Chains A and B, each alone.
Chain A
Amino acid sequence: MSTNQKSSDKGKNTNKSVDKRNISLKWFSIGSVVILIAIVLFVNILFDAALGDKFVFDMSSTGQHTISQPTRDFIDSLPADANIRVVGLFEKPDTIAGSVLEYVIPLLDDYAEKSQGKIVVDYVDPAVNPAIISELDPEGIAGLEANTFAVYYNGRVQSVSAYDCFAFDQYAGYPTANLVEATFTNAMVTLVNGFSHKAYFVSGLQEGPHTQLTKVLSSVGIESAELPASSSFAVPSDCDLLIINGINIDITEGMASAISEYLNNGGDAIVAVNYFNNSTEQFVNLNNAISVMGVAIDPYMLLENDPSMLLNNGLYNQSLLNVSEPFQSLATSATVRASYCRVVRPADVNVSYIKSSPVLFSSEYATTGIDTTTSFTNQGYHYVGMYSTFDGVTNAPHLYVFGTTDLTSDDYISNFGYNDANVVLIRNIIRSMFPSEISVIVPSKPMNDVSLDATKVTVKSVNVMTAFLLVVIPLALVVVGVVVYGKRKNL
């Protein structure tokens, strides 16, 4: 630039008219670029500031920014003078793009708009107005914090964090499901109606987290609590559903007798264990506990051998399991996914009132064995999930035993979202155990509904796909390129 300037200065000395044209061309060039950039900046800033929000179209199939029918039905069922208050404990931000709030704030606006005053949404920053927290929650039991939401109704309050409103992929961390509406509606439903039932998770046995299953339970009106394993273990009297989910070490003898007593007295329970990181665990006490219901968990792993049932080339032992006939009404798919399954079978007890039936079962080519050996035997149909109850008894217990955690674990639910076939099945099973007229099921909104019909993803189809997409197409292109190039080179 500077040299250019210098040279044109020099030219000016020698001949004044000489440089006029170049200088005017140069300034036209620079000027037009500057003006264009200015216009573009102006238009963009104007668009963003004034019209940015108006030109957003929610065309998503489920409407990320629109409340769905179940929520509207719930709102309509509220009395006209009902007053639910949703308070964002922060200053309402000017821009929400790129943060999780962009799925929350517009949706809350939709609640406010469509509820005709039954639901009020406002934003109060506790840093500016510290009284807000004690106003909403005088006893400080809900644990309200800045930068979360409080849902308040009639003296009761629940805290909702925006981050809790999403299911995230466990590995990549991207959101897989939008639960904003489900979370807020559930909070409102439980504030208005209270929880109808209470579930206890047996904890302290090296089990994984159960945040996701807790949300599933909450969505059907069931409150969750922890029940730590201890020497003085007892099932609380308010327990409607006992959940043993993904434990990796066996329960104690004392716990076993407490649990079998609970079951014998008509208690409901869900047991889910798998064959991963716990292959030496025989679950003797657990088996003792559930033997009262005529079910046993084998210390063997299931090996699926039918290629049309294998997923992902059988890697990580992924395969399909069939959902048995009586339970298909609860399922959206004839099969579910599972990996590293334990075999579940009827226990060797001969009690006539026990009525057990398979829920999930393998193909007739499946074998069983111990993971570390290659000798898998006993080919035939095997069960991975069983249901058991007492026949002809009032207040009969209901027990579901799964040899897989792929219906209940955080890993799975986070990964595949709340509309996955496995998750739908477990939710419907729980609903069938606790029919409730007040539960409002708001479907999660898929950030991306990604599941395929699992039955079509067999080893064979994966191989064909690999060959076609990774070998045939690229290779064909390269070959055509080489041929064309070779031909033209010699023209």
Chain B
Amino acid sequence: MLAVFKREFFSYFKSPVGYIALALFAFISGYMYVNMFAYAQANIPSEIITMISFFVIFVPIITMGLLSEDKKRGTEILFYTSPVSLFEVVMGKFLAALSLFGIMYVNIIIHMIITKSSSGTVGIGVVGASIVFFFVAALYIAIGLFASSLSDSQIVSAILSFVILLFFQMLSTLSTFISNGITSALSAGSMGADKLSAIGEKVAYAVKWLDPIAKTQQFRYGVFSVFPLVYCVSVALVFLYLTYRVLEKKRWSQK
């Protein structure tokens, strides 16, 4: 696991990809921070949460090559024929990508220092938002890694993970749509409105239940709850395991 982690993590810094992702993150978060700063405000939790909505772009860039490149270049055979478990390989790559997010987070720390030195508050909300940052990153990276295992083309993997992540991102919007549908049905005053609203509400709730962002909304105010974190970690685990199974499938698949 450590071997794969080391190789993937350092390879981000041996090619332009890692630097470009870092520069992009620095620029976007910096832009948001400066804009707040100019109004004598520094809402770090809100900045972090906004950066999470950019994960849908960052994660595919960072994860697209993790497994697809190995497949394309034939280097995956190293993992299959070395005395390591493929799950360790998956975890190594996962942790490498997550660590890159750790490096990106340094930007936010810089912003915190500036905030502190301008007598702003860096309170518990920042801790909450940061927890959300890393847990959602973990979930999204697991998804991106899974997408990367499905193809031997970086572009295809990137598009695939973008689509899945977009779906996750849209969950809350989707639930609003459903709620709106109910409201319009109610205002139409049809006979079954009550029943429909009950069903619709349940569906909307279920959709919202799946949304990692909506679940973790209170974190940025310093109100922590364990359940959303369990959710992120366990769903990430499902995707990591799926990735592992996809790799393992190559051994016995008759295709």
> Which of A135-143, A235-243, A396-404, A452-460 has 4 or more CB atoms under 8 Å from chain B?
A452-460
Q: Are A448 and B46 in contact, CB atoms less than 8 angstroms apart?
A: yes
Q: Are A451 and B41 in contact, CB atoms less than 8 angstroms apart?
A: yes
For B33, the chain A residues whose CB sits under 8 A away are 465, 469
CA distance A360 to B43 in the complex (A): 27
Q: Which applies to chain A's interface (DSSP): helix, strand, loop or mixed? A: helix
Decide yes or no whether B205 CB sits under 8 A from chain A: yes
CA distance A475 to B23 in the complex (A): 7
Decide yes or no whether B151 CB sits under 8 A from chain A: no
Q: Are A457 and B227 in contact, CB atoms less than 8 angstroms apart?
A: no
Chain A minimum-CB-distance residue to B175: A98
Decide yes or no whether B208 CB sits under 8 A from chain A: yes
Contact of B223 among A58, A313, A448 (CB under 8 A): A58
Q: Are A29 and B245 in contact, CB atoms less than 8 angstroms apart?
A: yes
Q: A56-B224, A474-B26, A481-B23 are in contact. Are A452 and B120 (CB under 8 A)?
A: yes
- Most-contacted residue by chain A among B16, B18, B20, B223 (CB, 10 A): B223
Q: A57-B225, A478-B23, A481-B23 are in contact. Are A44 and B230 (CB under 8 A)?
A: yes
For B114, the chain A residues whose CB sits under 8 A away are 465
CA distance A222 to B34 in the complex (A): 39
CA distance A377 to B83 in the complex (A): 81
Decide yes or no whether B109 CB sits under 8 A from chain A: no
Q: A51-B227, A452-B115, A453-B118 are in contact. Are A469 and B43 (CB under 8 A)?
A: no
Q: Are B227 and A477 in contact, CB atoms less than 8 angstroms apart?
A: no
Measured CB to CB, the closest approach of chain A to B168, in angstroms, equals 15
Q: Are A477 and B22 in contact, CB atoms less than 8 angstroms apart?
A: yes
Contact of A60 among B208, B223, B230 (CB under 8 A): B223
> Which of A30-38, A261-269, A323-331 has 4 or more CB atoms under 8 Å from chain B?
A30-38
Measured CB to CB, the closest approach of chain B to A414, in angstroms, equals 14
Measured CB to CB, the closest approach of chain A to B101, in angstroms, equals 15
Measured CB to CB, the closest approach of chain B to A309, in angstroms, equals 12
Measured CB to CB, the closest approach of chain B to A150, in angstroms, equals 24
What 1/0 mask marks residues of chain B from 213 to 252 whose CB sits below 8 Å from any chain A CB? 0110110111111110011001101100110010011011
Q: Which applies to chain B's interface (DSSP): helix, strand, loop or mixed? A: helix
Q: Are A43 and B234 in contact, CB atoms less than 8 angstroms apart?
A: yes
What 1/0 mask marks residues of chain A from 428 to 458 whose CB sits below 8 Å from any chain B CB? 0000000000000000000111111110110
For B22, the chain A residues whose CB sits under 8 A away are 477
Q: A57-B225, A58-B223 are in contact. Are A448 and B125 (CB under 8 A)?
A: yes
Q: Are B42 and A21 in contact, CB atoms less than 8 angstroms apart?
A: no
Decide yes or no whether A202 CB sits under 8 A from chain B: no
Decide yes or no whether B185 CB sits under 8 A from chain A: no
Q: Are B26 and A473 in contact, CB atoms less than 8 angstroms apart?
A: yes
For A461, the chain B residues whose CB sits under 8 A away are 118
| Known contacts A456-B118, A457-B118, A465-B114, then 7 further A-B pairs from the complex at CB < 8 Å, ordered by chain A residue | A29-B245, A32-B241, A40-B235, A64-B222, A473-B110, A474-B24, A478-B19
9 contacts between A and B (CB under 8 A): A37-B238, A43-B234, A97-B217, A311-B38, A312-B39, A457-B37, A457-B39, A466-B34, A469-B31
Interface residues of B (CB under 8 A from A): 13-16, 18-20, 22-24, 26-27, 30-31, 33-34, 36-43, 45-46, 107, 110-111, 114-115, 117-121, 123-125, 127-128, 205, 208-209, 214-215, 217-218, 220-227, 230-231, 234-235, 237-238, 241-242, 245, 248-249, 251-255
Interface residues of A (CB under 8 A from B): 4, 7-8, 11, 21-22, 25-26, 29, 32-33, 36-37, 40, 43-44, 47-48, 51-52, 55-61, 64-65, 95, 97-98, 102, 174, 178, 311-313, 315, 318, 337, 416, 447-454, 456-457, 461-462, 465-466, 469-470, 473-475, 477-478, 480-482, 484-485, 488
